[in-house]
Chain A
Amino acid sequence: DAGITQSPRHKVTETGTPVTLRCHQTENHRYMYWYRQDPGHGLRLIHYSYGVKDTDKGEVSDGYSVSRSKTEDFLLTLESATSSQTSVYFCAIEDTAGRGTEAFFGQGTRLTVV
């Protein structure tokens, strides 16, 4: 299994508070991703990173920011959490095998904003 650790695994927070989720990898992969999973929507890309300090927006990036100061860590921050950000968040890393790519996923973080 790919070495991906998400923390925390569960969090309940209040509307308007900042929240940071952490994704840590031990695989030294270049690409890292943050997705959110909601019923009826599948997984939607929030932000991704293609290297240290190199990040870009996905399709649902509003209200989220990311940082990657080290290869192994990719942080997702909700600056001011809202109830619409209640979701399950997954981090993924990409294994570029040369002939193609595949993504490996963490176990997810269940975030509830009350």
Chain B
Amino acid sequence: AQSVTQPDIHITVSEGASLELRCNYSYGATPYLFWYVQSPGQGLQLLLKYFSGDTLVQGIKGFEAEFKRSQSSFNLRKPSVHWSDAAEYFCAVGVRTGNQFYFGTGTSLTVIP
């Protein structure tokens, strides 16, 4: 069965520091992979996606993620965090058959001055 694991429930970083949010997935084939961000009281906004090709993908707001097939991972990174990045981040897997999406439980990011 498909599943997505985000091992870090909550992360706190200082403004200007680098960030890495972890995501591991379980899926029998090459998945579609996504990172979404959710600000309080808002819906989910797509940060970036991986379908195929280059395993390092660039997204909006200065985020990037790297697909590592051998580790079944799709970690999200940002070199310098801004206070406005404080939000909940969700990793998701898109299944090609049935067009379904499976989400991780989310990582809450706090940015301190």
Stretch in A14-22, A77-85, A94-102 touching the partner:
A94-102
Q: Produce 1/0 per residue, A24-58, CB < 8 A to B.
A: 00000001010100001111110010100000101
Q: State whether the Cβ of B27 lies closer than 8 Å to any Cβ in chain A.
A: no
Chain B's closest residue to A95 (CB) is B46
| Contact in complex: A40, B105 (CB < 8 Å) | yes
A90 close to B51 (CB less than 8 A): no
B32 adjacent to A103 (CB under 8 Å): no
Chain A residues with CB under 8 A of B94: 100-103
Interface residues on B, range: 20 to 34
Closest residue of chain B to A90, judged by CB?
B43
Expressed in whole angstroms, the minimum distance between the Cβ of A71 and any Cβ of chain B is 16
A69 adjacent to chain B (CB < 8 Å)? no
Chain B residue with minimal CB distance to A38? B105
Return chain A residues, CB-CB under 8 Å to B4.
Answer: 42
| Binding-face segment, B65-73, B74-82, B96-104 | B96-104
CB contact under 8 A between A107 and B99, given known A100-B94, A102-B49? no
Flag whether A105 is at the interface (Cβ < 8 A).
Answer: yes
Chain A interface residues toward B at CB < 8 A: 31, 33, 35, 40-45, 48, 50, 56, 58, 90, 92, 94, 96, 99-108
